Chain A
Amino acid sequence: MSVVDRISAGAARDPAREWPLELYDLLKRAGIRQVSYVPDAGHSALIRLFGDDADMTTNMLTTEEEGIAIATGAWLGGQRSVVLMQSSGVGNCINMLSLPVQTRTPLLMLVTMRGEWAEFNPWQVPMGQATEAALTAIGVTVLRAETPEDLIEIAEQAAGMAFDADQQIAVLIGQRLLGKKKW
C-alpha cells in the first residue's frame, strides 16, 4: 500500500504527529500540481508524499531561488505550485523573489524554521533570526505557525490568499512545532 493509498483510506490522524498528511491533503485540495524543494528534515514526509503522487511534478533544486523561478513559470503556464525549503534557504531567494513580487504572481512557500528553538547548531541562528525580516523586506507576506493545528489553518488560508488574491506568501513552520533535531 503506497503512502497515498494509506492517506485516502482515511484513518483517524494524530495532528501532532501526522500534520504532514494534513498539509498534503490541503495542498492537493488547493490544486497544487508542481512542488519544488531543497530537502529539510521537517519537510521529509511531505517530499515523500509528493514524490509518490503521479499527478504531481516535483523538482529537486540545487538552490532555493530556483524554486521561485519555477513557481513563476508554473503559474504562467496555468499550474499552481508550492516551494519547500528551510529558513537558511530564504536568504538564497531574495533577489529572485523580485520576480513574483514585481509580476504579482501567486507564490506559496513553506519554510521550516531553524535557529530559533532548541537549536544545537549556532550556524543556523543568524539566518533563522533574519528569515522573517528578509522576506518582509522584499515584499513577501509572512505567516507563522507554532502548533500543528495552527499550521493547517494557516497553510489553507495562505494558499487561498496566494492563488485567489495574487499574493506572495511564506508560511514559517516554527522549530518548536518541528521538534528538536535528533542528532
Chain B
Amino acid sequence: MVNDMTLPTMDRRAAVAKLLAARDGALVVTGLGSPSYDVHAAGDMDNNYYLWGAMGGAALVGLGIAQAQRDRRVMVITGDGEQLMAFGALATIAVAAPKNLDVIVLDNQHFGETGMQPSHTGHGIALDRVAAAAGFAETAEIRSLEELGALTKRLREPAAGPRLFVLKVEANNLPRSLPPRDAVFVKNRFRAHLGLASC
C-alpha cells in the first residue's frame, strides 16, 4: 500500500535518457538493479561505472571519485531503496561537501527488483528533504520530463556543494538492459577513460 495520493507517472527510461543526453562528460555511477539497466539502456559508455551489488555504496563510490577528480562532474544515478540503505551516507557526503557530486534518486517508491514491495519513500520519507536537512547545497523533487528539462540545465551550472534530486518515476519493471557483469573489466575501462593504468 502506497500512501502517496498521486502516484508518479514519469517514465524512468525516458528520464534517464534525457539526463544522460545532457551529461556533458560527467562520470556516472549507477546503483544496483533498475538504475544500472536504465543507464545501460541509454547507451553503454566507458565513463559509466555500474554496480551490480554493494547496496548502499553508489553515492559513496561517487564521493570517492569526486574527491579524486575535482575538475570533473560526477553523477550518481541510483534508486530509492539503494539510497535508503545509505541514509548515513547523506551525512557523510554533506560534511565532505564536494562541489562536483550530484546524486539522482530514481524514486519509484518500491523495491522493484525483488517483487515491487513498497519502500519508505511512498510512506512519507522524502530523500530530497533529508538531504536538504543534512546540508546538501541544492535538492528538489522532480515529477515530470518538463521539470527534468530545467534540471539538466541546472546540473550544468557550478554547484556550491553536493546536490541531490529525487526523480519520482512510475513503478514498473521494464525489460532489462544488462551492463557487463565483469566487474574488473568495467573498473579498468572506467580508469582507462581517465587515463589511468589498468590493473
Instruction: Looking at the assembled complex, report how far the CB atom of B14 sits from the nearest CB atom of chain A, in whole angstroms.
Output: 28
For residue A154, CB closer than 8 A to chain B, the reply is: no
Asked if B187 and A105 make an inter-chain contact with CB atoms under 8 angstroms apart, the answer reads yes
Residues of B within 8 A of A70 (CB): 60-61, 63-64, 67
CB closest residue in chain A, given B29: A73
Asked if A99 and B88 make an inter-chain contact with CB atoms under 8 angstroms apart, the answer reads no
| Complex Cα gap A105–B53 (Å) | 15
- The contact of B67 among A62, A69, A79, A98, by CB within 8 Å, is A79
For residue B150, CB closer than 8 A to chain A, the reply is: no
Residues of A within 8 A of B92 (CB): 59-62, 66
| Complex Cα gap A79–B61 (Å) | 12
Q: How many residues of B contact A (CB 8 A)?
A: 36
Asked if A78 and B187 make an inter-chain contact with CB atoms under 8 angstroms apart, the answer reads no
CB closest residue in chain A, given B88: A62
Asked if B53 and A98 make an inter-chain contact with CB atoms under 8 angstroms apart, the answer reads yes
Kindly identify, within residues 68 to 85 of chain A, every residue whose CB is under 8 Å from any CB belonging to chain B.
68-79, 81
- The contact of A72 among B61, B67, B86, B196, by CB within 8 Å, is B61
Asked if B63 and A76 make an inter-chain contact with CB atoms under 8 angstroms apart, the answer reads no
Kindly identify, within residues 127 to 177 of chain B, every residue whose CB is under 8 Å from any CB belonging to chain A.
none
Residues of B within 8 A of A102 (CB): 53, 183
| Complex Cα gap A49–B153 (Å) | 41
Chain A proximity mask over B182-193: 1 for CB below 8 Å, otherwise 0 = 011011001100
| Complex Cα gap A57–B67 (Å) | 7
Instruction: Looking at the assembled complex, report how far the CB atom of A94 sits from the nearest CB atom of chain B, in whole angstroms.
Output: 11
| Complex Cα gap A74–B190 (Å) | 12
Residues of A within 8 A of B178 (CB): none
CB closest residue in chain A, given B72: A77
- Given contacts A76-B49, A95-B55, A98-B53, whether A104 and B187 have CB atoms under 8 Å apart is yes
Asked if A59 and B96 make an inter-chain contact with CB atoms under 8 angstroms apart, the answer reads yes
| Complex Cα gap A42–B72 (Å) | 36
Kindly identify, within residues 41 to 97 of chain A, every residue whose CB is under 8 Å from any CB belonging to chain B.
57, 59-63, 65-66, 68-79, 81, 95-96
Residues of A within 8 A of B184 (CB): 103-104
Residues of A within 8 A of B199 (CB): 166
For residue B5, CB closer than 8 A to chain A, the reply is: no
Residues of B within 8 A of A81 (CB): 64
For residue A176, CB closer than 8 A to chain B, the reply is: no
> What are some 7 contacts across the A-B interface (CB < 8 A)?
A34-B68, A66-B89, A70-B67, A71-B64, A96-B56, A102-B53, A104-B183
Residues of B with Cβ closer than 8 Å to A?
27, 29, 49, 51, 53-58, 60-69, 86, 88-89, 91-92, 95-96, 183-184, 186-187, 190-191, 194, 196, 199
* A69-B89, A73-B62, A102-B183 given; 13 more Cβ-contact pairs under 8 Å: A68-B57, A69-B54, A72-B64, A73-B61, A77-B64, A77-B66, A78-B191, A96-B54, A98-B53, A99-B51, A102-B53, A103-B187, A104-B187
